[in-house]
Structure 1
Amino acid sequence: MGSFFASRRGLVIGLAIAVVLFFLSAFVVPEEEQAVVLRAGEPVGTVNTTTGDTNAGLYFRVPIIDQVRRVEKRLLDLEMNDEEVLSNDQQRLLVNAYARFRIVDPVRMVERAGSTDGVRAALEPILNSVLRQELGRRTFQAMLTAERGAALANVRANLDRQARQYGAEVIDVQIKRTDLPQGAPLESAFQRMETDREREARTIRAQGSRDARIIRAEADAESARIYAEAFGKDASFYDFYRAMQSYDATFAKENGNGAESSIILSPDNEYLRQFRGRR
């Protein structure tokens, strides 16, 4: 009887030890995470990485000896606070930017940065430096045009090159806000922009006036050419046509001052020859 209870107690203890060992060795990796298994501080395996053969699920490790370092698999944000940047036209700009990245090599990340927070701490000054260099090559007005996209593409490429050494890949870099500092610099920039627009408007008006004079001169020349051709083909008709225009202007009911016109001419006056049918 005593041996029965002893064997039963040993079975219970064995099951308890097995359960404890199971919970100590088993670990679950969800879809949004990847894991690095460390043994004595050295990586010996990975789970659910972007380039690995394993997927999310239940896995086992050697209890106590192995450690599991979990790494975020989703996109991560890198925020940059307002930083003062000097543009190519010597404008001091307050730039607020952010980058999005993900961990593509968790082993390297663990070895070089330790955690995703370590990656952020390493990339933040790099983003600041790269952004300063890139914006320093461009003017403030250029950052308000399509050239801004090219500048950010260069920033992303340079930041990604630096991020690879920490096992990260930079997906995107964007500028949330680009402002001029408050006070005299901002007012001076607005005045300079207003002066530039006024100068541009004067240039456009001068070009328009020049083009109008050219078009008017060309039209007068064309008119003179047509009149000359008409006079050369039929001088009598041309003389008659010009006389009719003169009569219309001379015998109008009102002159330019709004008063009626009165003209006294003798019947044989040369000016009235077209009324007499004399050519």
Structure 2
Amino acid sequence: MNRIASLVVSIFLALLLLSSTMFVVDQRQYAIVFALGEVKEVISTPGLHFKLPPPFQNVLTLDKRVLTIDTQDADRFITAEKKNLQIDSYVKWRIVEPRTYFVSFGGDESRARDRMLQIVKAALNDEINKRTVHDVISGERGKVMEAIRTKMVGEAKQIGVEIVDVRLKRVDYVEQINNSVYERMKAERTRVANETRSTGNAEFEQIRADADKQRAEILAEAYKEAGRIQGEGDAKAAQIYSQAFGKNPEFYKFYRSLEAYKASFKNHSDVMVVDPNSEFFKYFRSPSSGK
């Protein structure tokens, strides 16, 4: 019975020893095999691997994916104009030299992040100091980010890291000068609005003057054409009247007398003092003969 128990214990110990010599590497990880702080092997191939049991050899895994360092608080920088800016940024990076990275930080990712933040802050400070507020905010923002990334590449390579991307999330003035900046921006926008309004009013007056001129020209041409047509009509009518009344002069006299009567007796209240035997009333006396 004791032999069986001893055998079971031996098998258990053997399995425990064997399990301590095996480890699995994920496809998203590097594995560093080290002994007493010295790197023995770097494994990047996923699968099952073997090593010596502890304490002879140990394994540390490192993430090979793209990681992000996001600044929690905005840092203050001074531009070439000696103006303070608060800038939030983030950096995307990944481990490309696991051995160098392990030697630099002992596999401690928090230490690596702190070092990366120092590098990005130094690069930001160098670039912001050379540029104006306009350049940082909009004019050369892309160039600023690319320059920061270029500056970080060399230092990051020394610690086994590759810089994938650098971005400025937010660029703002410090609280002390926000109000003055807003007032200046407001004044500038007001000036532009007034200039635009003035230009619009000038164009409006010019358009209205042109329209009035065109209207006067059109009306003048219309009156001229109407006068010409009316003149032609009156001449034609006079010709027709002349031809018609020339065939019977007596009827023409009678017609003109009727027109005179109509105009003279237009209002019932009108009073005329005229001799009844005058020439004016000859057709009242004898309409048929005019006598």
Structure 1: gaps spanning 5 or more residues? 49-53, 213-244, 253-279
For 1:11 and 1:96, the matched residues in 2 are separated by 64
1:1-36 CA distances to partner (integer Å, 9 max, x unpaired)?
Answer: x9xx74x55643442232011121111222222111
Contact 1:38 1:44 in 2 (8 A): yes
- State the Cα distance separating 1:129 from its structure 2 match: 1.4
- Superposition map of 1:125-204 within 5 A: 125-183=118-176, 185-197=177-189
The one-letter code sitting in structure 2 at the alignment partner of 1:27 is F
Contact 2:66 2:93 in 1 (8 A): yes
Inter-partner Cα distance in structure 2 for 1:188 and 1:139? 17
TM-fit CA distance, 1:207: 10
Counterpart code for 1:23: S
Amino acid at match of 2:22: A
Contact 2:89-2:169 at 8 Å conserved across structures: yes
Return the match for 2:62 from 47, 68, 71: 71
Q: How far apart are residue 101 of structure 1 and its match?
A: 0.7
* Correspondent of 1:116 among 109, 122, 128: 109
Determine whether 1:62 maps to 2:52: yes
SS at match of 1:12: helix
Provide, for residues 159-208 of structure 1, a one-character-per-residue CA deviation record: whole Å limited to 9, x for no partner: 1221111111111111121111224x111112333444566678889999
Report the counterpart of residue 32 of structure 2 in structure 1: 36
| CA root-mean-square deviation | 3.4
Matched with 1:232 is: none
Between the aligned partners of 2:127 and 2:15, the Cα distance in structure 1 is: 58
Q: Does 1:27 align with 2:19?
A: no
CA shift at 1:86, angstroms? 1.2
Query: Are residues 175 and 164 of structure 1, via their aligned partners in 2, closer, same or farther at CA, if it must alter by over 3 Å?
Result: same
AA partner of residue 143 (structure 1) = V
1:255 match? none
- The normalised TM-score by structure 2 is 0.62
Task: Specify the code of the residue in structure 1 equivalent to 2:26.
Answer: P
Paired residue total: 211
Letter in 1 for 2:48: L
Q: Look up the match of 2:77.
A: 85
Whole-angstrom distance in 2 between the partners of 1:101 and 1:149: 18
State the alpha-carbon separation in 2 of the partners of residues 147 and 11 from structure 1: 75
**In 1, Cα distance between equivalents of 2:119 and 2:70:** 12
- Aligned AA for 2:13? I
Q: How many Å apart are 1:87 and its aligned residue?
A: 1.6
Q: Give the letter aligned to residue 121 of structure 2.
A: N
Post-superposition offset of 1:142: 2.2
In structure 2, the partner of 1:217 is none
Query: Which segment drifts farther, 95-104 or 13-22?
Result: 13-22
Between the aligned partners of 1:106 and 1:119, the Cα distance in structure 2 is 12
Contact 1:134 1:151 in 2 (8 A): yes
State the secondary structure of the residue aligned to 1:155: helix
Rg larger for: 2
Q: 1:94 aligns to what?
A: 86
- AA of the residue aligned to 1:73: K
In the TM superposition, what is the alpha-carbon distance from 1:100 to its structure 2 partner? 1.1
- Is the 8 Å Cα contact of residues 72 and 116 (structure 1) preserved in structure 2? no
One-letter identity of the residue aligned with 1:47: I
